[in-house]
Amino acid sequence: MTAHAEQLRMRRAPVLARAADLIADNSLLVVLVAVLGAVLLGVAQQLTVADSWMTLVAGREIAHHGLPSHEVLTAIPYGRTWTDQQWFAQIVFYASTVVGGLRLAIVLNVAAITVTLALVVAAARRRGASARSTLLVASVSLFVAPWSWQLRAQALALPLFVLVLQLASSDVRKPRARTFLALPLLVLWANIHGSVLLGAGLVSLAGLFGLLRRPLRSAALVLLPWACVLISPYGFHLVGYYRLLLFTSPVSKVIVEWQAPKPHGYDLIFFAVAAITVILSIWQRRRLAYYDIAVLAVTLAGSLRSGRGIVWFTLAMAVILPSVLDGVFRGGEAAIRRRLGLASGVAAIAVLLVMLVAIGSKPDSWFEREWPVAAARAVATAAATAPGRQAVFPSDTTADWLLWKEPSLRGRVAYDVRFEILTAAQLGSLVRFKSTAPDWMTPAAAYPVLVLDPSEGKRRVVALSAVPGTRVLFRSKAIVVLARPVG
């Protein structure tokens, strides 16, 4: 062995030793993170939803035509102002499909979710929580908001939330210069997802808690995060965008995902976890800083206002609650033998890598098994002969997928899942199409091609199929494509 090779070996030895110690000391947590990644790869076919296709379509639009300012993808709101706040996340996901196909976009999404859990675990441990409590809370958190695992722009914001929370909460306990690293993270976040407002609030709140001790420094932490929110190509136009989303948008009145969760069905898990969190926080309040209580209260309030906010409460709870739970448990943790812990952690990582290789070798068609290409082709062929923009009236789930698969439909599909760019009247018209009102067919009357989702109502499929002159171009359990004369 040469002297240079020997030096490299000696340098690597401490790194490998530290890695082995980290895995052995946190073996069950390593297993949990690796298992989550492996499971997500295993269900990769279920990770693409309407928002996924919207993210990819918008990314392609930016890559080919530049940042949008007005709607050009759909017919109903065509020409309306479109502030695409999530532009950077969209271009990142689209770029991944250019480099490695849909598989790489899904792997990127899985990586973001898995890294987020790893950061949550690390943050809880840095706060002094035991591995036992961290494992228990992190495991429970995985069942609270599983819809957050789907491929969408929000996935890239999840690790940023944990990093910003960790920086802000540690600053309240002991002010450090590194807290200001949260500012560039917020700038990045401001171009990824609208939840950056929550991130800015976390840092600003930390500044408020330090105003009496270090007024100038704390004032900077209070004010600068809100300036970071506006560092975007859209600048001050974002003010109107956030005002629309938070206060004036009609979406929350008709779209379930934007509404407050109800105490039934799957949401019962959220309400149970929220109740336990409140009880433990009151019972073990001495283990919580006032900042921690404020974070839990703010994120819980956001969750109760809209189901879309549950994921942020879940992450905050997973970071903060383990140290609280340590006050409930009595006695020390059961020690795991070093060799067993190291072996189990390494084995879990190996399984994750095997799954990664297996999924990475799949063709794009495998990931789109639930999305029949023949249906998209039938729609595009029928729409090609339709005059004007009013060509295709889709279902909520298929609109962006159609735009992704058939770029020729750009501007000719009635609407997509960006419901926030619709007016109240336009949104009301779409709701009427799904109702039992006597004139429920009217919103789609001008469109010669209809794409229906039988799961949203078989009655509509039967009624529209029975209209004279209507032809069935494609039919499956998930999608029905109809063509009919109009005018």
Six-digit token pair at 194?
A: 């609208």
User: Which residues contact residue 251 at a Cβ distance below 8 angstroms, ignoring those fewer than 6 apart?
Assistant: 258, 419, 420, 427
Is 33 among the domain residues?
yes
Tell whether 134 and 39 lie within a shared domain: yes
* Residue range of the domain that includes 102: 24-156+249-325
Task: Report the pLDDT value the prediction gives residue 13, as an integer from 0 to 100.
Answer: 56
Tell whether 272 and 392 lie within a shared domain: no
Is 196 among the domain residues?
no
Is 454 among the domain residues?
yes
Pairing of strands 471-475, 480-483: antiparallel
Tell whether 319 and 460 lie within a shared domain: no
Task: Report the pLDDT value the prediction gives residue 6, as an integer from 0 to 100.
Answer: 47
Tell whether 382 and 321 lie within a shared domain: no
Tell whether 267 and 388 lie within a shared domain: no
pTM, two decimals, is 0.92
In our burial notation (b when 16+ CB lie closer than 10 A, e otherwise), range 276-289 reads ebeebbeebeebbe
Tell whether 285 and 413 lie within a shared domain: no
Tell whether 113 and 54 lie within a shared domain: yes
Task: Report the pLDDT value the prediction gives residue 265, as an integer from 0 to 100.
Answer: 86
- Residue pair 186/164 in contact by the 8 Å Cβ criterion: yes
Is 242 among the domain residues?
no
pLDDT, mean of each 10-residue run, the chain (487 residues): 50 65 75 92 93 97 96 95 96 97 96 96 92 93 92 96 96 91 97 96 93 88 96 94 84 79 90 95 91 96 92 96 88 66 84 92 90 94 91 94 96 94 91 88 93 86 91 93 88
Task: Report the pLDDT value the prediction gives residue 170, as an integer from 0 to 100.
Answer: 93
Distance CA 438, CA 145 (A): 37
Is 7 among the domain residues?
no
Task: Report the pLDDT value the prediction gives residue 341, as an integer from 0 to 100.
Answer: 72
3-class SS letters over the chain:
CCHHHHHHHHHHHHHHHHHHHHHHHCHHHHHHHHHHHHHHHHCHHHCCCHHHHHHHHHHHHHHHHCCCCECCCECCCCCCECCCCCHHHHHHHHHHHHHHHHHHHHHHHHHHHHHHHHHHHHHHHHCCCCHHHHHHHHHHHCCCCHHHHCCCHHHHCHHHHHHHHHHHHHHHHCCCHHHHHHHHHHHHHCCCCCCHHHHHHHHHHHHHHCCCCCHHHHHHHHHHHHHHHCCCCCCCHHHHHHHHHHHHCCHHHHCHHHCCCCCCCCHHHHHHHHHHHHHHHHHCHHHCCHHHHHHHHHHHHHHHHCHHHHHHHHHHHHHHHHHHHCCCCCCCCCCCCHHHHHHHHHHHHHHHHHHHHHHHCCCHHHHCCCCCHHHHHHHHHHHCCCCCCCCEECCCCCHHHHHHHCHHHCCCECCCCCHHHCCHHHHHHHHHHCCCCCCCCHHHCCCCEEEECHHHCHHHHHHHHCCCCCEEEEECCCCEEEECCCC
Tell whether 277 and 416 lie within a shared domain: no
Tell whether 305 and 378 lie within a shared domain: no
Counted domains in the chain: 2
Tell whether 33 and 138 lie within a shared domain: yes
- Residue pair 256/307 in contact by the 8 Å Cβ criterion: yes
Six-digit token pair at 403?
A: 């735009």
235 C-beta neighbours (distance < 10 Å), count: 9
Tell whether 260 and 145 lie within a shared domain: yes
